[in-house]
Amino acid sequence: MVEHFPEEEGVPGSSPGPSTRMHRLFTWMHTHEKHLSAFAMVAGFIADNLLFVRVDLLQTQVLLAAYAAVCFLAIPLLHWIESRAARRGTPLPRVRIILPLITQFALGGFWSAFVIFYGRSAVLGASWPFLLFLFLVFLGSEYFHQYHTRLVFTSILFFFALYSCAIFMLPMYTGSIGTPTFLASGLVAIGVFALFTGFLRMVARERFLAEVWRIRVGAALVLAVVNIFYFTNILPPLPLSSTAAGVYHEVWHIPGAYYAKSETGQPWQVRYLGFPPTLHIGQNESLFAYSSVFAPTAVKATIVHRWQWYDAVQKVWMTRAAVAYSIVGGRDGGYRGYSKVLITDAGQWRVNIETTDGRLIEQLPFTAERVALPPPEETITLK
């Protein structure tokens, strides 16, 4: 039986009632679901760029926790509604269309946060496989929006989001980074996901039992891939990130500020595109590497400046010096420090700024060239 309301018939003097307005709203949402999905993605990405200034800020942690709570509740509720409707042989309620949209918005918020934070921490040459994988997950999550109603797809995406989030959130509570903290983040993600699957089993038992092995295998594959990225030093060293770095003819420190003598006359490719500079040095001259590394409040770590020279005959990078120093997190601009090394050979050099377990935070390539006269220099203030 079809009910007709006066406002739908255009009765003079009538106005749409609340139920009719809601009906029109859900109909419009269903018709424009694809466009709403794209809008939610863009809106979430813009919001994340404005809100995610630092990983250790309360607003960042609250927003990521909200994304996790939305997924934790919306995914099981969607399948509970669908299972109940299937058992009773009744039509799906109109409110059901909202759950995939808010799930997608939350997962999209996760992906954009990961692109922001992992992108800030990564050195492209070392971490591009993980960044590519993360970017493809982000695009796929939006492109295959119709699959957000499917249990296995969304459950595996949710586990990946939990794991990626735990990797850079847990160090802020342990105050340390390294392999034990990374392994503990996996246990945290597995624990939260176990609670999620328990809730899912409770509210949508039949559907969950039909897909349980696919969900477990998918989550295990995500766990394996992320661990491979970590133990091959592809995973960026979150929550650490480089805020400033460079190689100079001299660096010195006075209370509250760092200064450097920077070589002038570098070509535009170096100044604007970040190409490796050529530094002109005299006999028995040293160069200085400066770095400012951000770490969240209370996180302690050891940073290594590894100076390497390229042996063109053997075609290998030879480590000429490794200078380590400890940092403590909390400063917006990062913890600042520098190292000094005597340049004994001309040619290609690089300074790898890394953690003690070899995770690359920043890489500073340059070419050293011998000259008789000192090059023109200027004094600059370092960030």
The per-residue pLDDT for 148 is 43
What average pLDDT does the segment 194-200 reach? 95
pLDDT at 215 over 60: yes
Q: What CA–CA distance (Å, rounded) separates 160 from 63?
A: 17
What confidence category does residue 274 fall into, taking pLDDT thresholds of 50, 70 and 90?
confident
CA distance 267 to 250: 20
Residue 203, φ and ψ in degrees, nearest 5: -95, -20
- Distance set, CA 138 to CA 2, 61, 182, 189 (Å): 43, 20, 23, 19
Question: What phi and psi values does residue 305 have, to the nearest 5 degrees?
Answer: -100, 110
Domains and CATH numbers, the chain: 15-231 (no CATH), 241-382 (2.60.40.10)
206-210, 304-308, 364-368: least confidently modelled range: 206-210
Mean pLDDT for 327-343 is: 88
Query: Residues 22-34: what's their mean pLDDT?
Result: 55
What is the predicted pLDDT for the residue at 147? Answer: 46
Q: Which pLDDT value is given to residue 5?
A: 39
Decide: helix, strand or coil at residue 93. coil
Confidence band of 7 (pLDDT split at 50, 70, 90) = very low
* Structural tokens at position 354: 């890394």
Q: What is the mean pLDDT of residues 286-311?
A: 92
- pLDDT band at 233; cut points 50, 70, 90: confident
pLDDT at residue number 123: 64
* CB distance 203 to 141 below 8 Å: no
For residues 186 and 165, what is the distance between their CA atoms, to the nearest angstrom?
10
Residue 4 has pLDDT above 50, yes or no: no
Got the DSSP string for 352-371?
EEEETT--EEEEEEEEEEE-
C-alpha–C-alpha distance, residues 39 and 20, integer Å: 25
Q: What is the reported pLDDT for 3?
A: 39
Give the number of other CB atoms < 10 A from CB of residue 333.
Answer: 12
Q: Give me the DSSP letters along 243-293.
A: EEEEEESEEEEETTEEEEEEE----HHHHHH-PPPEEEE-TT-EEEEEEEE
User: Across the strands, what pairs with 269?
Assistant: none
Tokens linked to 192: 């939260």
CB 118 within 8 A of CB 130: yes
> Which of 28-37, 315-324, 334-343 is predicted least confidently?
28-37
Question: Percent of the chain beyond pLDDT 70?
Answer: 78
Dihedral angle sign, alpha carbons of residues 228, 229, 232, 233: negative
For residue 162, with 0-12 CB atoms within 10 Å meaning exposed, 13-18 middle and 19 or more buried, which class applies? buried
The contacts of residue 89 (CB under 8 Å, 6+ apart) are none
State the pLDDT confidence band at 42, using cuts at 50, 70 and 90: low
Q: What pLDDT, on a 0 to 100 scale, did the predictor assign at position 44? A: 57
Is the peptide bond between 239 and the residue preceding it cis, with omega within 30 degrees of 0? Answer: yes
Average pLDDT rounded to a whole number, residues 117-127? 68
Distances (CA, A) of 182 to 119, 189, 219, 356: 18, 11, 17, 14
Residue 312 identity (one-letter amino acid): A
Checking if the pLDDT of 17 tops 50, the result is yes
Lowest mean pLDDT among 131-135, 187-191, 296-300, 303-307: 131-135
More confident residue, 335 or 27: 335
Q: Is the per-residue pLDDT at 365 higher than 60?
A: yes
pLDDT over 90, % of the chain: 42
Q: What is the pLDDT of residue 332?
A: 76
Choice between 163 and 7, residue whose per-residue pLDDT is larger: 163
> Quick one: average pLDDT of 20-43?
56
Give the per-residue pLDDT at 150: 78
Kind of pairing between the strands at 300-311 and 347-355: antiparallel
**Average pLDDT over every residue of 156-168:** 92
Q: What is the pLDDT of residue 333?
A: 77
Q: What is the pLDDT of residue 1?
A: 38
pTM above 0.85, yes or no: no
pLDDT for 85 beyond 80 = no
